[in-house]
Structure formats: C-alpha cells, structure tokens
C-alpha cells in the first residue's frame, strides 16, 4: 500500500466506525466474556493456530441503493490440534446460520462474539480431530462502510450533476474482517473463489478473471470469478461499479486493464502503457512469471491511501492513475509512474512472498518503495528518478532522529499499532537500508539474492532472517559463478565470511541511525559512531552500535573507498594526504557524518570554489548533515549558513531542494512566534540566495523532468515570497486566463505559481474554485486546491476545511491534505489547529486510529510550533484523550518531541541567526 500523497505546496520544505485502540493482552489475567455473558474460549489478540483455512467460497450481494450487503462464506479448514472451538475474525456484522459441514454430516455451531478483539468463536459439541479437514458455513450482513476501509461506499458526480454510487474494498491491514468472517492475519493464506451478485447496470471485478455470469430471479446477475492463488485476506479485493475499461496485453501474455469512471476513461492511456511496461520489467527482473492471467488497475473516486496492491486488482486514487498529457505536469507523470511501479512490485514482494506478521511490514513496503526507483531507472530513464530517491532517506531520518521512533521491525499486536507501522520508517528507511545493502553487496549480487528469496518462499510467509539468509547465500554464488560481479567484496571485508544478518540486524532491530564522526590527521582518519538523536538527554544515545558500510572519497582520488565499521571507534589510513575527505559517497548509506577538526571548513572551501567536484547527492547530503548537526550542538549555525552560501551557484534539483528544505523551516518557526523582522530577514536571505536561479527560469514546459519539477518549485516559492518579477508575471498570466473564462492554455509547470497569486483576492479565489468544481482533470484540480489553501483569506481557508469534511464539493479523502496545507499558511495555522481539535472524533472515525493519515495530520499541523505556550496547548488537548480516542499513538509523542526540539533550537540560535543572516546576504555571490 502506498500512503496518501501529501499536497506538495512548494512554499513548504520537503520533509516529512472507529476501531478502538486495544491493549497488548498477552495472556489475559481474567477469562474474557462474550457478548452473551458466556466465557469466550480464547484470550489473546492473535488467533490460535489450532485450525487454518485453505479455501474460501465467498458469495456477496451488495445493494448500492440501500448501501448494505449480505453474503455467505464457506471456509475449508485444516485442523492441527484437537479442538472444539474455531476462532476467527468478524467486525461489526450480523452473523447467522453457522454450520459445520463434516464427513459425519451437517450440524449447527454455537457462536460467541468478543467485539473488542473482533473475534468470533464457533463452538462444536464434538471434537474436531487433528489431521482432518472440515468446512464451516456462515451467513452474514452489514452496512457498506462510510469510511475508507472494509467494503465501503464511494461516489462521484457526473458532468450532468448525477451522483453515482459504487462499492469498493480496502482490506489492509485488518479490515477484511469487516467484509466477511475470515482468519484475518497475513500468515493464514488460502485460495478464494468469489461470486458477486449485481444489477445489470453495474459491473463487478475481483482479483481473478470472471469465468461466467448467471442470471438470477428478479433481473439480477451473479458473476463467478476464477479461484485465486494462495494469498492473505488483506489482498482480497472486489469492486461493483459502472466503470469503463481499456486493456492491453503484455509481452508475457498478461491482460492489463485500467478501470475508471466513464468521463475520465480518456485519461488512462499513460497508466495503461506504464503498467504493461513495468509488469514486463518485473517479470524479467525477478525471473518469476507473474502468476495471474490479468492485472487490473482501478481509479477509485474515494480512496484514503495512495494505492493498494490487491493481487490482480490494484486500486488507486484518481490522482495516482489518471493523466492528461495536455494538463498534467512532469511531476504528475513522475508520481503516477512511481505509484504504479510500487504496486506492481508488491505483486512479488508482499503478495507472492508475504511477511509472517505486521512487525515485518517493511519486507513489503520497504522493498516496494525501493523497487520504484530500481524499475523506473531502467524503464523510464527520462524521468530521472535518481534525482528524487535521496529525499526519501531525509524524510525517514526526520522521524528516525526522535527518541519516539521505532525499529524497522517492531513488535505490534493490536490494529492501531499495526496501522502505525505504515510510516516513513517502514517505507522510506526500509528502502534506504536496502539501497545501502545493494551498494554493499553490488547490484548484481543483490539481485541474485532477492530472486533466490522470492523463489524459495513463493506463496509463503517470511521473517527478516529469511531475507538475510538468501542474501548471505550469494557468497557461494560469487565463488562458483559470478566472480566478476562480486570482486568488490574484498574491499569491504577482506578475509571475513559474509554475514548479512549480523550487519542488517543492527539496522532493522534497533531504532535510529548512526552519526559517524570523522577526524583527519594527516593520512590517519579516526572514526567513531553514536546514535544521532535530537534531544538534550544524552543517556538516550547510549548502547547503540551499527555495522556501517562506510564509503569515502578524497581530493587525491576519485575512487570510492570502502570500510566496514563494526566497532564504536576505528582508524583507517589514506593512501596519501588530502585537502578534503567526503564520507558516505552519494549518500548511499543511511547515516550522517560530522567532520571534526577542520573537516567542515575544508568542505566549505571546496563548495565555494569548485562545488561540481562533488556529485549533486554528495552536495545535498552535506547540506542536510550540517544543518541537522546544528540541532545537536555539534556544529554552529554560522558554519551551516556559511556552507549554504555556495547555493547561489547551485542548479541541481536535489541540492537546491535540500537547501530549501533546511532553510525554509527556520522562518516557518518564526511565523508562529510573531517575529516579523527576523522572519523577513530570513525570507530575504533565501530569495537572494536563489535569485539568479529563479531569474533564469522560463515560464514554459521545456526541459527535462528534473528541470521542470525544479522550475515549478522555484517559481511557486518566489511568488509566495512576493518576489516582484514573479508576482508581476503570474498576475498577468492569471488575469489573461480568467479573462478567457479559463480557456487560455497555461504552461502546466507554472500553473501553481499562477493560481497562488490569483487566489489572493476574493474574486480570484472564487473564480479558481468554480474552475476546480467544473474540472474533470484530477491533476489540475489538485493544483487548484493546493493554491487555494495558500490564500491569505482566512474565511476561505476555514470554508475549505469545512467543505472537505462534508465531502460534497471537495472530497473528504483530500481533507487531511487541505488541513495540513492550511496549517503551513501563516494566516491559517491557528485555524488548522482549531479545526483538528474540534473535529477529532470525526477524523479518527473516518480515517481510522493509528493510520498514516491521522499520524500525518497530527505531526504536520503541529511541527512548526516553537513556544512553551503552544506546547502546553498541544499537551492539554492530546492529554485529554482516552486510550480509545488515541492518547497512546506514537505520533503524539513525536509531536511533543518535535515542539520541544523547536523551542531548544530557537532559544539557542535566535541571537546568532539575527546577526548572521544580515551578514550573509551581503556575501551571496562572492
């Protein structure tokens, strides 16, 4: 699953019914009591392993008029231990007529319910015998969910104004149980045979192709789908809708279809071609044929996350799939291709081979995120995807630098804890440590290892160690067949046996990441490692040790040197003395570097006089590291600002955006403190720093993808910051566009800058909203919506949030993005915070407690506060919550930490900032 996209407002830096939260019960101290008052025969959150399903026959009848559904499920079971009770999941549904279909005959089963664990117990009068197979049948009924999970209602408005309803599924992580009784844990894999009853005006699609349609009394139709491969319940999917589709066939014979509402089907061509190309790539790369005959991609009008990898039927937000070549931007093309690459990678990582339990979610999501970049680098080189990977690592480090972070592999039990695993650590850190491992092993050896992993564990469930064993085995392959691929090994660990698990356990089983301090003394380089942590409590950094694949280069050699640091300290010797040493080449490693002694000064001089001697990623990593080290007191702010001066000559997107990413938050803190003079001083410094690059931007759609994305970023920033040439040009373009009643074609890449300027007046805002309401182009609507949240008109900002909550004109799926964007607006941050508090019960019911959506809302709305007064206000609100309403969520602890760090940072650096930004403005362009 891909998390919901954040509204990318480029004035903001690159950064990063309700299910009650349940305790970790372990072994309950008292017997649990079912709803009828009888003892419940199981006392744990996780299901017993006495029985397991191997096949489901599932028949469903959703009614899109009454917005409910009925169904029958027959589950074939293997019995592993003698038992009288079958315990499985069901949530908020009426279950009736439960039967045991045994060799001895059919007999009813008694049913007990324990809603707190979403569990049913089916009780038999006689023992179910170990080693035998049985079948149970349950009838059930429920309402279509009005949230975004389970079997839920979605709707859209046609161009004629008619509201049309459809029903779709979203079962990851623990919501299949809300659609049909099942064993809703990833290790309980089974085959599924599905039938769906529908009206003739609708179609039904599911994981597998339809094999026949049967006419039923009353004019209804029943679609029968082929039996699925063995899979987990969270991957089951079905949709009943009036969608249209377009199709193509891959070189390997797989039928690819894109489904969307009729009026948007003409926006599917790009996604269809991308899906064909990418599925063929994965088929060849993994050396394992895609096992299903078809792969559908469906654009759902209401969808909480970014996309979902259901086997054979991946589902997406409309913005994640629909592309208009005349009105979508370079950034849209990049985003759509990445999300398709992510979900199709899951067909192997996650679907074919699935984590045993949600503690190892990263085995699914880290790999899918990583494969986005591997696949697109080869299949779509023109997208220049490498220019964007490093930002994922910086996003992960932002969360991972807090004491409230968690290991990549973390124990979880209840649904809220499971939901919290869908965060930057599982996705982005997972991808970044895989990238580090790939660099360590060599790309060729890494590929051999992951193919071995996939083939060895196909249709099974895995844990961390299974992956490390498959990659360690590569050392045998190196010796026997691929010596030319693996010669690099000796540079890392001469004479040692390769033990991937010993290395990678240090990266997956402990939270955080290392800071490597480097001190060069002649040819001797002294190394030490510690946990990087944004805190003044140094006891929290003790006891951490990583095995770190260090890479470095020097002024004396362009060769990348390698050293595996396994200990707290170490020493390495350079072949010859050098003017400078740069560690973590291209930032392929997930660690930060502090250059002690004269190290930072030597690198600053290099950037000042010959910055292209280092790669763009190396320059971005230096910018990131030096500013992050200010937070821990390792580096003075004036050193970081001095390094930033070189940015006046920077042109590459990763380094430029990282410069913004470190500098913009400084004045965003000041906006919340009413420090107008210092705030404007900092804003002027940033504009002056990038003035040359901004002035060189053309108001067109020319150039490479990275150049076009950078243009959008720079022009938007400069307009938001009231840079006069930008405001004048954008105003002219907006007036011309409005005078034409929206018919004049604007260059796509500059529309955000134009819309933002237009939305500053009530008349301009209203015109923009009307165009938003009429448009069928999802990417255009997204940019308009984003621009409207930047308006200084507070009444409009408040109205937008309220409208998004109601979901009539602005979709409720977009509410979190709207609220977050308003919170970054200096005229709207208090409105966003008040809205969050006032609507908290509704938000956690709609978006689910612990979800990445709720976590993102909490952290992003509050992460720019830097006063004791706001910290007290935040603590007061979240402290008033109960466990059931979210008081134990990790994101709340992260919020407290972030605000406390902001307060410390401002108290420490405000005097220096007042002095240095005045001085540095005079030195830009030295």
pTM of the model: 0.93
Q: What angle do CA 273, 270, 240 make, to 5 degrees?
A: 90
Of 482-491, 534-543, 672-681, give the range with the top mean pLDDT. 672-681
**Over 90: is that where the pLDDT of 492 sits?**
no
Q: What is the pLDDT of residues 86-112, one digit of tens each?
A: 999 999 999 999 999 988 889 999 999
Q: What is the pLDDT of residues 365-405, one digit of tens each?
A: 999 999 999 999 999 999 999 989 999 999 999 999 999 99
Q: Could you tell me the CA-to-CA distances from 775 to 244, 331, 778 in Å, in that order?
A: 19, 19, 8
**Averaged pLDDT for residues 23-40:** 72
Residues 6+ apart with CB under 8 A from 881: 840, 887
The label of the residue with tokens 């900092």 reads 682
Q: Residue 114 forms beta bridges with which residues? A: 119
Confidence of residue 427 (pLDDT cuts 50, 70, 90): very high
**Over 50: is that where the pLDDT of 18 sits?**
no
Locate 413 and state its tokens.
């039990």
Tell me what pLDDT residue 636 has: 93
Confidence of residue 1 (pLDDT cuts 50, 70, 90): confident
Locate 402 and state its tokens.
């807090």
Alpha-carbon gap, residue 660 to 644, rounded angstroms: 10
Locate 894 and state its tokens.
């992260």
DSSP letter, residue 349: B
Tell me what pLDDT residue 12 has: 34
Residues 6+ apart with CB under 8 A from 815: 801, 804, 805, 807, 843
**Averaged pLDDT for residues 21-29:** 42
Alpha-carbon gap, residue 97 to 91, rounded angstroms: 17
Alpha-carbon gap, residue 531 to 890, rounded angstroms: 20
| N- to C-terminal Cα separation, the chain | 48
Tell me what pLDDT residue 475 has: 58
Alpha-carbon gap, residue 583 to 589, rounded angstroms: 10
**Among 187, 188, 193, 186, which Cα is nearest to 171's?**
186
Confidence of residue 5 (pLDDT cuts 50, 70, 90): low
State residue 433 phi and psi, 5-degree precision. Answer: -75, -30
Locate 132 and state its tokens.
């035998």
Tell me what pLDDT residue 598 has: 93
Tell me what pLDDT residue 489 has: 47
CA 417 vs. chain centroid, Å, equals 16
Q: What is the pLDDT of residues 782-825, one digit of tens each?
A: 999 999 999 999 999 999 999 999 988 889 999 999 999 999 99
**Over 90: is that where the pLDDT of 832 sits?**
yes
Q: Residue 88 forms beta bridges with which residues? A: 120
State residue 63 phi and psi, 5-degree precision. Answer: -110, 110
Alpha-carbon gap, residue 767 to 60, rounded angstroms: 45
Q: What is the pLDDT of residues 869-897, one digit of tens each?
A: 999 999 999 999 998 888 889 999 999 99
Tell me what pLDDT residue 548 has: 97
**Over 50: is that where the pLDDT of 26 sits?**
no
Q: What is the pLDDT of residues 331-361, one digit of tens each?
A: 999 999 999 999 999 999 999 999 999 999 9
**Over 90: is that where the pLDDT of 918 sits?**
no
**Over 60: is that where the pLDDT of 7 sits?**
no
Q: How many CB atoms lie within 10 A of CB 494?
A: 8
Tell me what pLDDT residue 23 has: 37
**Over 60: is that where the pLDDT of 518 sits?**
yes
Question: How buried is 218 (Cβ within 10 angstroms: 0-12 exposed, 13-18 middle, 19+ buried)?
Answer: exposed
Locate 228 and state its tokens.
């699925």
**Among 539, 521, 523, 520, which Cα is nearest to 531's?**
539
**Over 70: is that where the pLDDT of 906 sits?**
yes
**Over 80: is that where the pLDDT of 483 sits?**
no
CA 903 vs. chain centroid, Å, equals 28
**Averaged pLDDT for residues 266-278:** 97
Tell me what pLDDT residue 920 has: 54
**Over 70: is that where the pLDDT of 734 sits?**
yes
**Averaged pLDDT for residues 679-699:** 92
The mean predicted confidence, pLDDT, of the chain is 91
Give the per-residue SS3 of 675-722: CHHHHHHHHHHHHHHHHHHHHCCCCCCCCCHHHHHHHHHHHHHHHHCC
Higher pLDDT, 810 or 196: 196
**Over 90: is that where the pLDDT of 503 sits?**
yes
The label of the residue with tokens 């990659």 reads 471
**Over 70: is that where the pLDDT of 606 sits?**
yes
Tell me what pLDDT residue 486 has: 53
Alpha-carbon gap, residue 558 to 2, rounded angstroms: 38
Tell me what pLDDT residue 820 has: 96
Crossing angle (nearest 10°) for helices 868-879 and 890-923: 160
**Averaged pLDDT for residues 665-681:** 84
Q: What angle do CA 299, 305, 308 make, to 5 degrees?
A: 60
Q: What is the bridge-based pairing of β-strands 460-462 and 514-521?
A: unpaired
Tell me what pLDDT residue 558 has: 82
Alpha-carbon gap, residue 404 to 416, rounded angstroms: 16
Tell me what pLDDT residue 22 has: 36
**Over 60: is that where the pLDDT of 581 sits?**
yes
**Over 80: is that where the pLDDT of 854 sits?**
yes
Tell me what pLDDT residue 4 has: 66
Alpha-carbon gap, residue 272 to 248, rounded angstroms: 7
Confidence of residue 477 (pLDDT cuts 50, 70, 90): low
**Over 50: is that where the pLDDT of 28 sits?**
no
- Residues labelled as active-site residues: 343
Tell me what pLDDT residue 20 has: 33
**Averaged pLDDT for residues 74-87:** 97
Confidence of residue 541 (pLDDT cuts 50, 70, 90): confident
Annotated binding site for Zn(2+): 342, 346, 365
Alpha-carbon gap, residue 899 to 902, rounded angstroms: 5
**Over 80: is that where the pLDDT of 777 sits?**
yes
């Amino acid at each position: 699953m891909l998390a919901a996209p954040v509204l990318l407002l480029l004035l903001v830096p690159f950064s990063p019914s309700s299910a009650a939260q349940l305790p970790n019960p372990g072994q309950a101290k008292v017997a649990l009591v079912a709803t009828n008052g009888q003892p419940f025969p199981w006392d744990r959150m996780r299901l017993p392993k006495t029985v397991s399903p191997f096949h489901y026959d599932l028949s469903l009848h959703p009614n899109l008029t009454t917005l409910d559904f009925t169904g029958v499920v027959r589950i074939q079971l293997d019995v592993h231990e003698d038992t009288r009770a079958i315990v499985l999941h069901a949530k908020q549904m009426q279950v009736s007529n439960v039967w045991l279909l045994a060799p001895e005959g059919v007999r009813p089963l008694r049913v007990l319910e324990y809603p707190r664990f979403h569990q049913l117990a089916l009780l038999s009068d006689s023992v179910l015998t170990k080693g035998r197979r049985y079948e149970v049948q349950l009838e059930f009924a429920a309402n279509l969910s009005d949230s975004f999970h389970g079997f839920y209602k979605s709707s859209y408005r046609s161009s004629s104004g008619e509201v049309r309803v459809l029903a779709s599924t979203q079962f990851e992580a623990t919501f299949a149980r809300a659609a049909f009784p099942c064993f809703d844990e990833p290790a309980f894999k089974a085959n599924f045979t599905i039938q769906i009853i529908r009206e003739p005006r609708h179609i039904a699609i599911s994981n597998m192709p339809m094999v026949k349609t049967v006419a039923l009394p009353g004019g209804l139709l029943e679609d029968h789908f082929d039996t699925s491969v063995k899979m987990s319940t969270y991957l089951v999917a079905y949709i009943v809708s009036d969608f249209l589709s377009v199709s193509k066939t891959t070189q390997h014979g797989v039928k690819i279809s894109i489904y969307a509402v009729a009026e948007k089907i003409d926006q599917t061509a790009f996604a269809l071609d991308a899906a064909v190309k990418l599925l063929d790539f994965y088929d060849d790369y993994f050396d394992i044929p895609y096992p299903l005959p078809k792969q559908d991609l469906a654009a759902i009008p209401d969808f909480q996350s970014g996309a979902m990898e259901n086997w054979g039927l991946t589902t997406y937000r409309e913005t994640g799939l629909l592309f208009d070549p005349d009105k979508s931007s370079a950034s849209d093309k990049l985003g759509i291709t990445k999300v398709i690459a992510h979900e199709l990678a899951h067909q192997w990582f996650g679907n074919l081979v699935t984590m045993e339990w949600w503690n190892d979610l990263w085995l699914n999501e880290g790999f899918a995120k990583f494969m986005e970049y591997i696949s697109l680098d080869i299949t779509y080189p023109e997208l220049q995807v490498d220019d964007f990977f490093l930002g994922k690592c910086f996003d992960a480090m932002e969360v991972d630098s807090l004491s409230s972070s968690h290991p990549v592999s973390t124990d979880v039990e209840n649904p809220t804890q499971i939901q919290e695993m869908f965060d930057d650590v599982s996705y982005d850190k997972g991808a970044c440590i895989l990238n580090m491992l790939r660099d360590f092993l060599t790309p060729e050896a890494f590929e051999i290892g992951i193919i071995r992993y996939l083939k060895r564990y196909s249709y099974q469930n895995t844990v961390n160690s299974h992956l490390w064993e498959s990659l360690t085995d590569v050392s045998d392959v190196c010796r026997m067949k691929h010596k030319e691929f693996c010669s690099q090994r000796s540079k890392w660990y001469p004479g040692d046996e390769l033990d991937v698990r010993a290395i990678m356990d240090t990266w997956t089983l402990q939270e955080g990441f290392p800071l490597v301090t480097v001190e060069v003394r002649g040819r001797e380089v002294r190394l030490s490692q510690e946990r990087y942590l944004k805190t003044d409590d140094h006891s929290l950094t003790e006891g951490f040790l990583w095995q770190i694949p260090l890479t470095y280069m020097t002024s004396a050699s362009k060769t990348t040197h390698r050293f595996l640091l396994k200990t707290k300290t170490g020493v390495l010797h350079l072949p010859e003395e050098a003017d400078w040493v740069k560690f973590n080449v291209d930032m392929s490693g997930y660690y930060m570097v502090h250059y002690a002694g004269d190290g930072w000064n030597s690198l600053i001089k290099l950037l000042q006089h010959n910055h292209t001697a280092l790669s763009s990623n190396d320059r971005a990593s230096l910018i990131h590291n030096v500013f992050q080290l200010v937070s821990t007191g390792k580096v003075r702010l004036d050193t970081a600002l001095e390094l930033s001066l070189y940015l006046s000559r920077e042109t590459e997107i990763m380094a430029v955006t990282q410069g913004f990413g470190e500098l913009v938050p400084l004045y965003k803190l000041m906006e919340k403190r009413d420090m107008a003079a210092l705030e404007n001083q900092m804003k002027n410094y940033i504009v002056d720093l990038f003035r040359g690059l901004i002035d060189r931007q053309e108001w067109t759609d020319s150039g490479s993808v990275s150049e076009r994305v950078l243009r959008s970023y720079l022009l938007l920033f400069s307009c938001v910051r009231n840079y006069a040439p930008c405001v004048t040009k954008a105003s002219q373009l907006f007036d011309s566009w409005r005078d034409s009643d929206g018919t004049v074609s604007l260059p796509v890449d500059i529309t955000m800058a134009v819309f933002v300027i237009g939305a500053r007046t009530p008349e301009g805002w209203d015109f923009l909203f009307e165009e938003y309401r009429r448009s069928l182009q999802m990417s255009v609507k997204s940019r308009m919506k984003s621009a409207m949240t930047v308006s200084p008109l507070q009444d409009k900002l408040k109205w937008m949030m309220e409208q998004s909550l109601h979901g009539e004109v602005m979709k409720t799926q977009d509410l979190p993005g709207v609220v977050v964007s308003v919170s970054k607006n200096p005229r709207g941050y208090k409105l966003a915070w008040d809205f969050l508090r006032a609507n908290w019960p509704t938000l956690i019911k709609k978006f689910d407690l612990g979800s990445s959506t709720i976590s993102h809302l909490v952290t992003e709305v509050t992460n720019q506060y830097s006063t004791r007064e706001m910290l007290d206000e935040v603590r007061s609100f979240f402290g008033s919550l109960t466990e059931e309403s979210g008081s134990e969520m990790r994101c709340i602890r992260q919020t407290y930490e972030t605000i406390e760090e902001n307060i410390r940072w401002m108290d420490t650096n405000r005097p220096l900032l007042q002095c240095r930004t005045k001085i540095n403005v005079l030195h830009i362009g030295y």
